[in-house]
Amino acid sequence: MTDHGSGAAAGADVVGGAGGVGGAGSEVGGGARYEVWALDGIPEVGPGDDIAKLIAGASPSPGLLDGDVLLVTSKIVSKAEGRVIAAADREEAIDAETVRVVARRGTLRIVENRQGLIMAAAGVDASNTPAGTVLLLPEDPDGSARRIRAGLREALGVDVGVIVTDTFGRPWRSGLTDVAIGAAGVRVLDDLRGVSDSHGNELNVTVIATADELAAAGDLVKGKATGRPVAVVRGLGHVVAGDEEPGARALVRNAADDMFRLGTSEAVREAMTARRTVREFTDDPVDPGAVRRAVAVAVTAPAPHHTTPWRFVLLETEAARLRLLDAMRDAWIADLRADGKSEESIAKRVRRGDVLRNAPYLIVPCLVMDGAHHYGDPRRDAAEREMFVVAAGAAVQNLLVALAGERLGSAWVSSTMFCREVVRDALGLPAGWDPMGAIAVGRPAAPPKERAVRQAGAFIEVR
């Protein structure tokens, strides 16, 4: 057993071999090496207690050295900060701590809490707290870590890093692990981008979550029911830094980079509500692959008689777009003149159609009546066509939602429906393809305005 002085917890020390955090540490036996052990002598924590003083005053002495990293379980921080409530208030507390619901399965909620963490029940926990109570996470875990670090510097004269830890489940992986939710004086991320590996390959995306790896190492010796809420890592002084380090908040992925931000049903609802009509686009090119993925979603729409009554004409070249839009403009102007409109009125109306002309990509959805039944009865034949039109609309809605999921804006404009022969001629389409408007696609030039709230009850009749 390695001797850590009087601060070692019996049977609770681990020596990390080569390949410890960052591949560095104190040199022992020619390899990179670190040590981690849990502290004994930390008393039960109550509201108002000073965590740093409890650690400094532990018996046996913690024996801390400059460059050590302390891993402090968030529960004792919550107790010291008075973040204890009656268990009967748990659901209300989860609501209060929740910023948004990520996924819900029955009574289980995975949420983003006010600290920006994605976790079950907003971190409201009934373990390691007296019966009838539950614990909330610290209000500001990074601030808590800074206070503990400063307190240990004052009490013991040591420069240590501090990580506040909590237990998380993880998507795609069974089991729980400890992660860093607060940090002070620790380089929480080790950015290796631009560094070459042992084969000379440049690393392009490798950023190591050092603080999380340390938290997990500490959990191996602290345990969940041993009464040892603090662990020490020694031999990784290179991860200890100054007070200017950003803290564990830097580990939270921002929304724009989060590809898995929502659960399945929540993602569907979010995508549906995120679909907005966008009329102004940037000049950025549209990825044809993204459009094809959206079309693959579009063609899953329901349709009558097991048919597939949709075709999507993708105008990916400027020449094709201008050929269509110029032909449509000329036909529209001719119609407006035939209606007796003034040249000024005509020019104003044509300008309103610029949403298609200014888009970097156009899609022309077409209705194809292959497989439709013919009854010889005008009423039934009209209803048959309506079924196919409804199916085309469902496919277009799927398409618009899927485009929003690809971060593409869109505007569905009806204009091609008023000059179908012109469109078919300009695009060389078969006679049986009926254009159902045109969809402008591109990167939105500005965030959409807030959507007016619509109460579902206003559109529901129950019988």
End-to-end CA distance of the chain: 76
pTM of the model: 0.63
DSSP states of 45-60 as a string?
P-TT--HHHHHHT-SS
Angle at 315 between CA 313 and CA 321, to 5 degrees: 125
402's tokens: 């899927």
Digit-coded pLDDT (tens) for 162-211 = 999 999 888 888 999 999 999 999 999 988 877 877 778 877 768 899 99
CA distances from 63 to 73, 129, 149, 173 (A): 19, 28, 15, 37
Q: What is the pLDDT of residue 12?
A: 45
**Domains of the chain in sequence order:** 13-83+138-257 (3.30.1330.100), 275-459 (3.40.109.10)
Give the bridge partners for 118, in sequence order: 112
Digit-coded pLDDT (tens) for 399-427 = 999 998 888 999 999 989 999 999 999 99
Digit-coded pLDDT (tens) for 118-137 = 888 888 888 778 888 889 99
State the chain's mean pLDDT as an integer: 87
pLDDT band, residue 444 (cuts 50/70/90) = very high
pLDDT band, residue 75 (cuts 50/70/90) = very high
C-alpha span between 166 and 178 (Å, rounded): 5
Residue type for 98, please?
Answer: T
DSSP states of 398-427 as a string?
HHHHHHHHTT-EEEEE-GGGG-HHHHHHHH
Contacts of 93 (CB under 8 A, 6+ apart): 85, 122, 124, 134, 136
For residues 2 and 257, which has the higher predicted lDDT (pLDDT)?
A: 257
pLDDT band, residue 17 (cuts 50/70/90) = very low
In this predicted structure, which of 4-8, 70-74, 249-253, 363-367 has the lowest mean pLDDT?
A: 4-8
Please check whether residue 35 is in contact with residue 235, taking contact to mean a CB–CB distance below 8 angstroms: yes
Q: What is the pLDDT of residue 155?
A: 96
Q: What is the pLDDT of residue 388?
A: 96
The average pLDDT across 273-300 equals 92
For residues 5 and 175, which has the higher predicted lDDT (pLDDT)?
A: 175
Give the bridge partners for 113, in sequence order: 98
Digit-coded pLDDT (tens) for 215-226 = 999 999 997 777
Q: What is the pLDDT of residue 308?
A: 95
Question: What is the DSSP secondary structure assignment for residue 257, as one 8-state letter?
Answer: G
